[in-house]
Amino acid sequence: MPLLSQDKFDQLKQKAGNLLNRTLDQHVNLAVTGLSRSGKTAFITSLVNQLLNEGGEKHLAFFNPVHQERFIAAKRVTQKHMHVARFDYENAIKALSQSPAQWPQATKGISELRLAIKYKPKDSLLKYTTELATLTLDITDYPGEWLLDLPMLNMTYEQWSEQMFSLLSEQPRAEFAATWMKKVSELDPLKPADELEIAELAKTYTELLHTFRHQLGLSVIQPGRFILPGELAGAPILEFFPFTDIDKLDGNAYQNASDSSVIGTLKARFLEYRERVVKQFYKKHFLKFDRQIVLADCLTPLNNGKASFEDLKLAMNMIMQSYHYGQSSLFSRLFSPKIDKLMFAATKADHVTPEQHTHLVSLMNQLVHGTKQQISFNAIDIKSLAIASIKSTDYGQSSHQGHAIPVVRGLAQGTGKLTTLFPGAVPAKLPDEDYWANHHFNFVSFAPKQGMAEHEALPHLRIDQVLQFLLGDKMS
């Protein structure tokens, strides 16, 4: 007579599996952010879409759980944080499947989405206790501008003002900022602060930041909340600006300046922003992430020229300063959560011809080269990839002066006109003066493909490789 009935054995096996599930940390906090116009909303929409539609090998051939037929299903479940906005997946899919199809509307703050992914374990200890396991995936979407704010935590108001002055003094910012900088230089920093005067100058500074991002396509925007204020809109904490002549101010006079003076007020609001906005984001959200993907559009800066690309380079350097890296384990997550996998994705890879994709990855590696070596030394898994979250073009060949050349073909954004072109060669390393003088890049923005169905997997490039890197080890 068996000691345990089959039903009792199955119950104990299920309980053991649940305990091991928790012990082996079957949970991933994935943070998704992106620099200006990188396609963050499209990426999250595609990632969720592929999982909800089970992929199929045609779409997710490089994601092992699908390739090995161990992927069962994924479904949306209630997110953990009720006070955080839900990522609007439904409306994003509707925009892509309507006629004519449109890109999803960009998100303007932080949002979340939770998936439960059921699969068959193959290599982990879970296979000895359960036939099916569930990975909980929390996706947090937050603006890249918030990430670029994190270096402010290690800066004084003087240091930040000097850094901003350096940026504002160089083209292309200088042309737009000259009038504002002149007004700031005429301020007496030690006089009593005039609330309306400071508010007006802060408003103009905010308008400059919008110009830098939306008109010039620049990446370094500080403070980030100035252009994405959310619930802080109109609050005095967003009414400060860099004092551009701070290096000319006597050190003793600065240190002894009254809190009610112009410089005292600006300094106090900077510190308040740093503590109540930047540090709170770091504590409430950033420290809880254990995997991160940073999206960057390298093509538009190549189109816009040297200054725009140099700004992207500076932004990537600032991003690398923002992380507190270290191996993530169940024990360390309880006390000091750390990011242990980091991916940099060069987006819109479908907007260039296939042979340029390796150059795009190489260029991304060059942008993060210095800090990447340090991260690798600390045994942090880091990867660069060229992706298209939602593929909007087809590839082909055309003839030019008797020679066959590769081309991309798609519907031009804005006009909807079918466009065929070779956009140019992507440099495999950081562009030098010769590149800017002799090479021309003709990147065109494309609209989504027409006729995509609401409940089918979206066309993509390498989202399966993204999933394998970020989730593959948790679903082994």
DSSP per position, 93-141: HHHHHSSS--PPPPP-S-EEEEEEEEE--SSSGGGGT-S-EEEEEEEEE
Q: Which residues of 246-264 are buried (b: 16+ CB within 10 A; e: fewer)?
A: beebeeeebeebeeebbbb
Helix (H) or strand (E) holding 86: strand 85-86
| 404: helix, strand or coil | strand
SS3 sequence, 285-317? CHHHCCEEEEEECCHHHHHHCHHHHHHHHHHHH
Query: Helix 262-273 and helix 195-210: axis angle, to 10°?
Result: 50
Q: If pLDDT is split at 50, 70 and 90, which confidence band does 374 have? A: low
* One-letter identity of residue 402: G
Task: Report the C-alpha dihedral over residues 75, 84, 107, 223, rounded to 10 degrees.
Answer: -140
First to last CA, the chain: 37
DSSP β-ladder status, 27-34 and 133-141: parallel
For residues 328 and 288, what is the distance between their CA atoms, to the nearest angstrom? Answer: 11
CA distances from 42 to 38, 95, 347, 392, 413 (A): 9, 11, 10, 11, 15
Higher pLDDT, 137 or 318: 137
Cβ atoms within 10 Å of 180's Cβ, excluding its own: 17
For residues 442 and 302, what is the distance between their CA atoms, to the nearest angstrom? Answer: 9
Question: Which of 49-63, 69-83, 101-115 bottoms out in mean pLDDT, i.e. has the lowest?
Answer: 49-63
Q: If pLDDT is split at 50, 70 and 90, which confidence band does 376 have? A: low
pLDDT for 21: 47
pLDDT tens digits for 204-229? 999 999 999 988 889 999 999 999 88
The pair of structure tokens assigned to 343 is 């991916």
For residues 445 and 249, what is the distance between their CA atoms, to the nearest angstrom? Answer: 47
Q: What are φ and ψ of residue 418, in 5° steps?
A: -65, 120
Look up tokens 């240091």; give the residue.
159
pLDDT for 80: 87
Helix (H) or strand (E) holding 73: strand 71-77
Cβ atoms within 10 Å of 155's Cβ, excluding its own: 15
CA distances from 401 to 352, 398, 404, 405, 408 (A): 21, 10, 9, 10, 18
Q: What percentage of residues in the chain have a pLDDT greater than 70?
A: 87
On the question of pLDDT at 294 being above 50, the answer is: yes
Mean pLDDT of the chain: 86
pLDDT for 318: 85
Cβ atoms within 10 Å of 241's Cβ, excluding its own: 23
Q: Read off the DSSP letter of residue 459.
A: P
pLDDT for 476: 86
The pair of structure tokens assigned to 198 is 């400071």
pLDDT tens digits for 17-34? 544 544 456 899 999 999
For residues 164 and 215, what is the distance between their CA atoms, to the nearest angstrom? Answer: 19
CA distances from 174 to 141, 214, 218 (A): 32, 16, 13
For residues 389 and 260, what is the distance between their CA atoms, to the nearest angstrom? Answer: 50
CA distances from 103 to 41, 98, 150, 348, 370 (A): 9, 10, 29, 13, 35
118, 9 in Cβ contact below 8 A? no
pLDDT tens digits for 410-459? 999 989 899 999 988 899 899 989 889 887 788 889 999 998 888 889 99
For residues 196 and 202, what is the distance between their CA atoms, to the nearest angstrom? Answer: 10
